[in-house]
Amino acid sequence: MSRIDALFARSPVFIGFTVAGDPGIEASLRVAKAMIEAGVDLLEIAIPYSDPVADGPVIERAHVRALRAGTTTDDVFALVRRIREHAPALPLVLFTYHNIIHRRGPDRFFSEAAAAGADGVLIVDLPVEESGEVAPCAARYGIDRIALIAPTTSPERQHAILSGASGFVYLISLEGVTGERDRLPPGIAGLVGAVREKTGLPLAVGFGVSRPEHVRTVVAAGANGVIVGSALVRLIEEHAGDEAGMQDALRAAIAALRRGLVPDPEPDIP
């Protein structure tokens, strides 16, 4: 059983997101360790990229900070290796854009990802019709290909996307880019239900999830996991130059968000 499979055997789970090299490569290792200590069940690690079209302003600025710090793909694999040494059982998923894989070569990329200790790869901008070069390489090295499904994805396209997916499915809660929202859209339960009919893979919901009440909404909708990115990345930005404060803020935020995984107790009826 893979680390991802073992994790989702006990759901719901909390998935945290960070950009490798933000605010610097050594600092990002300490950020990852703080997030793990705070209770993330799976860590998504973004490879910094110059044109992160799926991301809103908060995460886009994190990509910029990481690139300005000189973070390369080699650095990211080295970081993953160090996180794996720190947390041998924790599932790690790389979040990337296809150009990074294309330039490195799919076989080399997935070989190095597996050697570093990554369990899965989520390629944000690769259409299913163009995944023929990537799919066999992921399978060859035992890397799960995490699928993305949006509210606008047609049922026919959902089937096509799910046919090559493994690990879990990332359900995008809303139309648009990543970023914190005051409230989540009302159709999450419908999206979870519709995709659940087509796959036995676990379903995790992200984009806009940033408050404990959002986590409760996602869990109540029947999802197996919640993914929080911008709300955590913002704390890294807000505490620039105060690493101890940054780590404390991350721990407090994750603890608060995790409380949303547990349903509110039923009130006592006299």
Q: Are the CB atoms for 13 and 7 separated by under 8 Å?
A: yes
**What does the chain come to in residues?**
270
183 Cα distance to chain centroid:
20
At residue 229, what are phi and psi to the nearest 5 degrees? -125, -70
Bridge partners of 44, per DSSP, are: 17, 93
How far out from the chain centre does Cα 92 lie?
9
Residue 107 designated active-site? no
Nearest of 44, 141, 147, 23 to residue 91 by alpha carbon:
44
Say how many C-beta atoms besides its own lie within 10 A of residue 121's C-beta.
25
Q: Which residue among the candidates 41, 55, 75, 119 is catalytic per the annotation?
A: 55
Angstrom distance (rounded) from CA 187 to CA 47? 30
Name the 3-class secondary structure at 95: strand
Could you say which of 5, 22, 41, 44 is catalytic?
44
Q: Does 37 participate in catalysis according to the annotation?
A: no
Q: Which residues are annotated as catalytic?
A: 44, 55
